[in-house]
Structure 1
Amino acid sequence: MYIGLGIFLLVVGAILLFAVPSAVVAGVNLSVIGIILVIAGLLAIVLSFAMRGRNNRGYTATRQSTVDPATGTRVDRTDVDPG
Protein backbone atom coordinates (compact mmCIF):
# COMPACT_ATOMS: atom_id res chain seq x y z
CA MET A 1 0.00 0.00 0.00
CA TYR A 2 2.78 2.42 0.85
CA ILE A 3 4.69 1.56 -2.30
CA GLY A 4 2.09 3.38 -4.41
CA LEU A 5 2.14 6.37 -2.08
CA GLY A 6 5.94 6.41 -2.15
CA ILE A 7 6.04 6.32 -5.94
CA PHE A 8 3.46 9.12 -6.12
CA LEU A 9 5.41 11.31 -3.70
CA LEU A 10 8.64 10.54 -5.54
CA VAL A 11 7.17 11.53 -8.92
CA VAL A 12 5.54 14.74 -7.65
CA GLY A 13 8.72 15.67 -5.80
CA ALA A 14 10.87 15.04 -8.87
CA ILE A 15 8.57 17.18 -10.99
CA LEU A 16 8.78 20.02 -8.50
CA LEU A 17 12.52 19.60 -8.10
CA PHE A 18 13.61 19.27 -11.73
CA ALA A 19 10.81 20.77 -13.86
CA VAL A 20 10.42 24.05 -11.98
CA PRO A 21 13.80 24.62 -10.34
CA SER A 22 13.59 28.40 -9.91
CA ALA A 23 9.89 28.94 -9.24
CA VAL A 24 8.80 30.62 -6.02
CA VAL A 25 5.10 30.75 -5.18
CA ALA A 26 4.07 33.22 -2.45
CA GLY A 27 7.34 32.88 -0.56
CA VAL A 28 7.52 29.07 -0.87
CA ASN A 29 10.47 27.58 -2.72
CA LEU A 30 9.10 24.71 -4.82
CA SER A 31 12.52 23.07 -5.11
CA VAL A 32 12.66 22.63 -1.34
CA ILE A 33 9.14 21.13 -1.35
CA GLY A 34 10.31 18.81 -4.16
CA ILE A 35 13.31 17.64 -2.12
CA ILE A 36 11.05 16.99 0.88
CA LEU A 37 8.59 14.98 -1.25
CA VAL A 38 11.38 12.93 -2.85
CA ILE A 39 12.79 12.04 0.57
CA ALA A 40 9.32 11.20 1.89
CA GLY A 41 8.65 9.00 -1.15
CA LEU A 42 11.90 7.12 -0.75
CA LEU A 43 11.23 6.67 2.97
CA ALA A 44 7.72 5.31 2.27
CA ILE A 45 9.09 2.80 -0.25
CA VAL A 46 11.89 1.63 2.06
CA LEU A 47 9.54 1.29 5.03
CA SER A 48 7.00 -0.65 2.98
CA PHE A 49 9.66 -3.22 2.10
CA ALA A 50 10.95 -3.33 5.68
CA MET A 51 7.46 -3.90 7.14
CA ARG A 52 6.34 -6.38 4.48
CA GLY A 53 6.74 -9.57 6.52
CA ARG A 54 5.77 -8.25 9.95
CA ASN A 55 1.98 -8.42 9.59
CA ASN A 56 1.96 -11.92 8.16
CA ARG A 57 0.59 -13.91 11.08
CA GLY A 58 -0.78 -16.70 8.93
CA TYR A 59 -3.64 -18.99 9.83
CA THR A 60 -4.36 -22.41 11.24
CA ALA A 61 -6.44 -24.87 9.25
CA THR A 62 -7.90 -28.08 10.64
CA ARG A 63 -9.11 -30.62 8.13
CA GLN A 64 -11.33 -33.58 9.00
CA SER A 65 -12.50 -36.27 6.61
CA THR A 66 -15.19 -38.83 7.55
CA VAL A 67 -17.48 -41.27 5.79
CA ASP A 68 -21.23 -40.83 6.17
CA PRO A 69 -22.54 -44.22 7.35
CA ALA A 70 -25.97 -43.72 5.78
CA THR A 71 -24.82 -42.94 2.24
CA GLY A 72 -21.23 -44.16 2.22
CA THR A 73 -19.95 -40.86 0.83
CA ARG A 74 -16.93 -39.03 2.07
CA VAL A 75 -17.53 -35.79 4.00
CA ASP A 76 -14.71 -33.24 4.24
CA ARG A 77 -14.72 -30.45 6.80
CA THR A 78 -12.17 -27.65 7.00
CA ASP A 79 -12.03 -25.19 9.90
CA VAL A 80 -9.89 -22.08 9.44
CA ASP A 81 -8.70 -20.02 12.39
CA PRO A 82 -7.36 -16.67 11.09
CA GLY A 83 -4.68 -16.52 13.78
Structure 2
Amino acid sequence: MKNMTNTQFFQVESGPQISAKDILEIVYKALSEKGYNPVNQIVGYIMSGDPTYITSHNGARSLIMKMERDELVEEMLKTYIEHNEWK
Protein backbone atom coordinates (compact mmCIF):
# COMPACT_ATOMS: atom_id res chain seq x y z
CA MET A 1 0.00 0.00 0.00
CA LYS A 2 1.28 3.49 -0.89
CA ASN A 3 2.06 6.06 1.73
CA MET A 4 -0.97 8.37 1.53
CA THR A 5 0.60 11.15 3.61
CA ASN A 6 3.03 12.29 0.91
CA THR A 7 1.94 14.62 -1.85
CA GLN A 8 2.46 13.37 -5.37
CA PHE A 9 4.15 15.78 -7.77
CA PHE A 10 2.67 16.01 -11.26
CA GLN A 11 4.20 18.14 -13.97
CA VAL A 12 2.68 18.76 -17.36
CA GLU A 13 5.09 19.69 -20.10
CA SER A 14 3.81 22.54 -22.20
CA GLY A 15 3.83 22.11 -25.94
CA PRO A 16 6.03 24.14 -28.19
CA GLN A 17 5.38 27.88 -27.95
CA ILE A 18 4.38 29.65 -31.13
CA SER A 19 5.23 33.29 -31.67
CA ALA A 20 2.79 36.07 -32.49
CA LYS A 21 4.60 36.50 -35.80
CA ASP A 22 4.00 32.85 -36.73
CA ILE A 23 0.36 33.02 -35.66
CA LEU A 24 -0.25 36.12 -37.76
CA GLU A 25 1.40 34.49 -40.77
CA ILE A 26 -0.69 31.33 -40.49
CA VAL A 27 -3.92 33.28 -39.95
CA TYR A 28 -3.14 35.65 -42.84
CA LYS A 29 -2.57 32.71 -45.20
CA ALA A 30 -5.73 30.91 -44.05
CA LEU A 31 -7.85 34.03 -44.57
CA SER A 32 -6.31 34.59 -48.02
CA GLU A 33 -6.94 30.98 -49.03
CA LYS A 34 -10.61 31.35 -48.13
CA GLY A 35 -10.94 34.57 -50.16
CA TYR A 36 -11.16 37.05 -47.28
CA ASN A 37 -9.29 40.33 -46.99
CA PRO A 38 -6.85 39.29 -44.23
CA VAL A 39 -6.10 42.82 -43.05
CA ASN A 40 -9.77 43.71 -42.59
CA GLN A 41 -10.54 40.43 -40.83
CA ILE A 42 -7.58 40.63 -38.45
CA VAL A 43 -8.38 44.27 -37.62
CA GLY A 44 -12.01 43.26 -36.95
CA TYR A 45 -10.84 40.54 -34.58
CA ILE A 46 -8.37 42.78 -32.75
CA MET A 47 -10.87 45.63 -32.35
CA SER A 48 -13.82 43.51 -31.24
CA GLY A 49 -12.35 40.35 -29.77
CA ASP A 50 -14.92 38.41 -31.78
CA PRO A 51 -13.20 35.26 -33.10
CA THR A 52 -15.76 34.84 -35.89
CA TYR A 53 -13.75 37.39 -37.88
CA ILE A 54 -11.15 34.65 -38.29
CA THR A 55 -11.79 31.56 -40.39
CA SER A 56 -11.49 28.16 -38.78
CA HIS A 57 -9.67 26.99 -41.94
CA ASN A 58 -6.36 25.31 -41.01
CA GLY A 59 -7.07 25.94 -37.31
CA ALA A 60 -6.55 29.69 -37.70
CA ARG A 61 -9.32 30.70 -35.31
CA SER A 62 -8.21 28.50 -32.44
CA LEU A 63 -4.60 29.49 -33.05
CA ILE A 64 -5.20 33.25 -32.92
CA MET A 65 -7.19 32.88 -29.72
CA LYS A 66 -4.11 31.45 -27.99
CA MET A 67 -2.44 34.86 -28.12
CA GLU A 68 -3.60 38.01 -26.37
CA ARG A 69 -4.79 40.67 -28.82
CA ASP A 70 -2.40 43.28 -27.45
CA GLU A 71 0.50 40.92 -28.17
CA LEU A 72 -0.65 40.66 -31.78
CA VAL A 73 -0.81 44.45 -32.08
CA GLU A 74 2.64 44.73 -30.51
CA GLU A 75 4.11 42.30 -33.03
CA MET A 76 2.52 44.09 -35.98
CA LEU A 77 3.69 47.52 -34.79
CA LYS A 78 7.20 46.25 -34.09
CA THR A 79 7.44 44.71 -37.56
CA TYR A 80 6.07 47.84 -39.21
CA ILE A 81 8.57 50.07 -37.43
CA GLU A 82 11.49 47.75 -38.23
CA HIS A 83 10.58 47.69 -41.91
CA ASN A 84 10.30 51.47 -42.04
CA GLU A 85 13.64 52.06 -40.34
CA TRP A 86 12.32 54.22 -37.50
CA LYS A 87 15.04 53.02 -35.15
TM over 0.5: no
Query: Which is richer in helix?
Result: 2
- Which has the greater radius of gyration? 1
Please report the TM-score for the alignment, with normalisation by the length of structure 1. 0.29
Please report the TM-score for the alignment, with normalisation by the length of structure 2. 0.28
Query: Which is richer in strand?
Result: 1
